[in-house]
Amino acid sequence: MSKVNVDDVLESIEAWTVLDLNKLVKGIEDKFGVSAAAMAPVAAAGGGAAAGAAPAAEEKATFDVILAEVGPNKIQVIKELRAVTTLGLKEAKDLVDSAPKPVKNGASKEEANSIKQKLEAVGAKVELK
């Protein structure tokens, strides 16, 4: 087996869609029996005793934007998804057809709220997690 250059892999996946990246993460989780979500708290807790002293007081820095329901305006939701993401027409339609699905993972509070407002304005129901 040849040695894989991590930089080459990162460069390769840079152009992937959110759906492709989501499939990759799920595939890694299934194949290796790990959870990407379980790693986030471990990384955040690495700050030592001071970080563990007041975890409830800290405000969440990143959010996952979840399309919970499409609503009556499917075409407008697809158009808005394409405007707020880098999804192509097929990927946006597939995401809408398979709701509830993540639209964006790891978005800042401002970006997550902006996406939520835009999608809700066309009739979709959106959750921030």
For residues 3 and 77, which has the higher predicted lDDT (pLDDT)? Answer: 77
- Over range 83-87, report the average pLDDT: 87
Q: What is the pLDDT of residue 1?
A: 55
Q: What is the pLDDT of residue 117?
A: 92
Residue 56 DSSP label: G
- Same-domain pairing of 52 and 6: yes
For residues 122 and 60, which has the higher predicted lDDT (pLDDT)? Answer: 122
- Same-domain pairing of 48 and 73: no
- Same-domain pairing of 111 and 128: yes
- Same-domain pairing of 33 and 75: no
- Same-domain pairing of 124 and 89: yes
- Same-domain pairing of 85 and 99: yes
Contact predicate 104/91, CB 8 Å: no
Q: What is the pLDDT of residue 6?
A: 80
- Same-domain pairing of 20 and 52: yes
pLDDT digits (tens, 9 = 90+) for 31-72: 877 766 655 544 444 544 444 444 554 567 888 899 999 989
Q: What is the mean pLDDT of the chain?
A: 79
Mark which of 10, 26, 58 sits at the end of a domain.
Answer: 58
The one-letter amino acid at 123: G
- Same-domain pairing of 50 and 66: no
Q: What is the pLDDT of residue 2?
A: 63
Reported pTM: 0.54
Domains: count for the chain: 2
Domain that holds residue 28: 1-58
- Over range 74-101, report the average pLDDT: 90
H helix intervals, the chain: 6-13, 18-32, 36-44, 49-53, 74-84, 89-97, 109-121
